[in-house]
Every structure is written in C-alpha cells, then in structure tokens.
Amino acid sequence: MTDFKILAVSGSLRKNSFNTAALRAMQELAPAGVTIELAEIGDLPLYDDDVREQGYPATVQRFRAQVAAADAVILATPEYNYSVSAPLKNAIDWASRAPAQPFGGKPVAILSAATGPMGGVRAQYHLRHMLVSTNSHVLNAPQIMITGAGSKFDAEGRFTDQAGRDLMVQMIDELVKWARRLKA
C-alpha cells in the first residue's frame, strides 16, 4: 500500500475521552503505508463570521490545512443531547466556509463511543446529515458505534473489544478503498 494519510478528529475534549482513545486504537491498527494523524480542535475559537471575514485565525488555518492535506478523514463523536458535540460542530463550521472548503469531495468515516446502550447512533445520524452540506463522501459501512464504552477500554485507555478492533481494521481498509475509488 502506498502512503495514505488520514486525519482523525475527536469531538471530545475530555482528557480520558473514549472517542479519542478509539482513534488512538485506529492509529495502532493502521496497516503499513497508512498514517493516522490526530487533529487538535480544542484551541479553535467559537465560530464567528465577523472573525472569519477578517481572516481565519491561525488555529483555524492549521485545521483547514490538515483536512485539505489528508486523503481521508475519520470523525469520532460523543453523543451530547442526542447530537454531535459542540467542539466537533464548531470545527466543521470553521472548515466548511469558503474559500476552498476542505471537506468538499473528501472521503469521511464516522465512529462514536458512548457509555450508553446506543453508542452514539443519534449523533452519527446528525453528523451524516451535516456532512451533506460540506459535500463530503461519507463511508456507509462498516458502522462503528462503541456501546458501553466504559467497559471496553482498560485503565490506560486501550480499546480492548476484539470485535470492535476488527471493525476498526475493516473501516480503515474500506476508507482507503473508498478514497481510491473516488479519485479514479
């Protein structure tokens, strides 16, 4: 496999976030030739179009450049009030503005981790809906919703669920294939 760069974005700013830990698991599971870089979105200011009209802040420029440079993106979101987290929505809002919004035509995979029995399915639904407006190409399968996340990560934050790890490997593989089909 030739070099393939995935940008991973966690919608959780929590130090011991299950979503960030899931993305770290994907980093360790990535095959040779695939790199997964974790994006920082906690330093992005709240979206304000008056600020954008004056020029993108440096942290926003950095994030937009990371999205643009990636061959694909993985978004991980917790579920807050039946929807995506505010930090993830904010990052997408900043990145989705003209000129040259970097999510346009970008292959995107989605996962979620939550302590409840639904694993963030409602947040994923909202995220898919949001990504229509960015003209992203969302991978339909596999879908990863880590339910009961508190019992699937060890004390060091390592994802221990083997079936989930297998799905992560499959998601990376399918995302790379999807991105290559879109480029052809």
DSSP one-letter string for 16-48: T-HHHHHHHHHHHHPPTTEEEEEPP-TTPPPP-
Amino acid identity of residue 48, one-letter, is D
Q: Is 9 helix (H, G, I), strand (E, B) or coil?
A: strand
Give yes or no for a contact between 143 and 75, defined as CB atoms under 8 angstroms apart.
no
Q: Which pTM does this prediction carry?
A: 0.96
Per-residue pLDDT at 2: 62
Q: What is the pLDDT of residues 29-52, one digit of tens each?
A: 999 999 999 999 999 999 999 999
Mean residue pLDDT across the chain: 96
Residue 181: enclosing H or E segment and its boundaries?
helix 162-183
Containing H/E element for 144?
strand 144-146
> Tokens 């870089």 appear where?
37
**pLDDT (average), residues 129-152:** 96
Cis peptide before 87 (omega within 30 of 0): no
> What pLDDT does residue 98 have?
85
In 5-161, where does DSSP find H-type helix?
18-29, 49-54, 58-69, 86-95, 121-133
Residue ranges of the domains in the chain? Answer: 4-183
Question: Cα-Cα-Cα-Cα dihedral of 176, 180, 123, 13, to 10°?
Answer: 60
**In CATH, what is the architecture of 4-183?**
3-Layer(aba) Sandwich (3.40)
Cα first-last separation, the chain: 16
